[in-house]
A and B are shown apart, each in its own frame.
Chain A
Amino acid sequence: MDQLPAIARVFGYLSLLTVGGGMAAFPEMKSLVVDVHHWLSYPQLIHVYSVGQMAPGPNMMMVAAVGERVSGLSGAAIAALAFFVPTGLLTFGVGRIWNRLANWPWRTSIQLGLAPVAIGLAVAGTVTLGKGAITNWVTVGVALAVFIGTLRTKINPALLILCGAVVGAIALR
């Protein structure tokens, strides 16, 4: 129970970094969840994050699983609320005044400027995740196969990830 305020702080803070998507927050999540609070080991965080890619809906709902590991059901609820409500309120507010900003010339500048930065942060997050997850030739093969499968076919991505689990069970023990 005593961890709940820390869970709220960490995930509330991380949510503010998710410009353009959740991946941008991954490097900072690693440092807070693993190095600062010792809630999970790094391999555990990678596992939970990856399982989160199979979950339906928003692909960062894995924060609920981290909260659950730290503090049970209340931890899961607090993590999800802290992660989704503050940015939600911001979006709600900006959405309401968006039209009034139409003639503010910096609105266009902000949109154009942040677009590549968001991609860069997502790539940086993916590199951080990849350094932890790609450890040998089998994992290189799985990642490449899923990369190509996603770009070239219309297979449900959750199924591709399940195939990764099967390959792992056979070849990564």
Chain B
Amino acid sequence: MSESVKPSAAAPAVASKEVPPVLDVFLTFLIIGATSFGGAVVAYLRSSLVGKKKWLDDTHFLELMSISNTLPGLNATNMSILVGDRLRGTVGAAAALIGMCLPGFIFMTVAGIMYGENGDRPIVTAMLKGVAAAAVGLISATWFQIGKKSVKGFYDAFFILAAVLAVNHFKVSVPIVLIGVGALAIFTNRPGKQRQKEALSEWISSLR
């Protein structure tokens, strides 16, 4: 299927001529899945896929990132699927996704078992309180960085604020906010607006 796609922006990703073996795709994503931490998967993906393996060029990587960001699903898994599909079709997408997920799955399943056995001990609860506070700091920092790069102008700030207030203050459920504020935001950026193309390329380059 992917072989028949005409060369264009998001088509044949392979910068080098030869097609990598499926095992190579699997192992590459397995290594990224085992060594990337704290939501920084995107940086690891870029240095491995664009830098070391040269399976994608940077423009192409960003194009795929922009698809990942627009769709539901995590960047880590969406990127695995998109890159795996472009390298080796359906089998490649599956291999990349499984490789990306396997280490974390084992880690979190073991963590669940250990939590069940030790979660009530006071020292463990105390440590987890520290971990939770640290996680809030880490997640805030991640979104602070993304926001700083990609928020341009009044409407962006308005829609961020609208989503936050709707969920946290007015207790509107997330799917309704996603559909309601999402539709309003899409309409605000409706086709025919002048700067649409530049705005999109600005946003895409902020995903790096």
Contacts and interface: CB of A to CB of B under 8 A. Distances in A.
| A and B associate in one complex | yes
Interface residues of A, number: 112
A79 to B, nearest CB: 9
A142 interface: yes
Contacts of A27: 167-168, 173-174
A4 interface: no
B69 A20 contact: yes
Interface in B57-114: 64, 66-78, 81-82, 85-86, 90, 93, 97, 100-101, 103-105, 107-109, 111-113
A114 B130 contact: no
Contacts of B107: 55-56, 61
Nearest to A168: B130
Nearest to B175: A17
B131 A62 contact: no
Contact of A90 (B73, B97, B142): B73
A65 B115 contact: yes
Interface residues of B, number: 113
Given A56-B33, A56-B103, A61-B105, A168 B127 contact: yes
Contact of A117 (B40, B75, B181): B181
A111 B70 contact: yes
A146 interface: yes
B19 interface: no
30 contacts: A24-B178, A28-B174, A48-B111, A50-B134, A51-B115, A53-B134, A56-B34, A58-B41, A64-B108, A68-B113, A91-B78, A95-B86, A106-B186, A111-B200, A112-B186, A113-B185, A115-B150, A115-B203, A116-B160, A119-B146, A125-B167, A128-B168, A133-B133, A139-B129, A143-B140, A157-B138, A161-B138, A163-B134, A168-B127, A173-B126
Interface of A: 15-25, 27-28, 31, 43-44, 46-69, 73, 76, 80, 84, 87-88, 90-92, 94-96, 98-99, 102, 105-106, 108-130, 132-135, 138-140, 142-151, 156-158, 160-161, 163-169, 171-173
Interface of B: 1-2, 5-6, 8-11, 32-41, 64, 66-78, 81-82, 85-86, 90, 93, 97, 100-101, 103-105, 107-109, 111-113, 115-116, 119, 122-123, 125-147, 150-151, 155-164, 166-168, 173-175, 177-178, 181-182, 185-192, 196-197, 199-200, 203
A-B pairs, top 9 by smallest CB distance, nearest first, are A168-B130, A120-B163, A164-B134, A157-B38, A146-B137, A68-B112, A105-B191, A87-B73, A57-B104
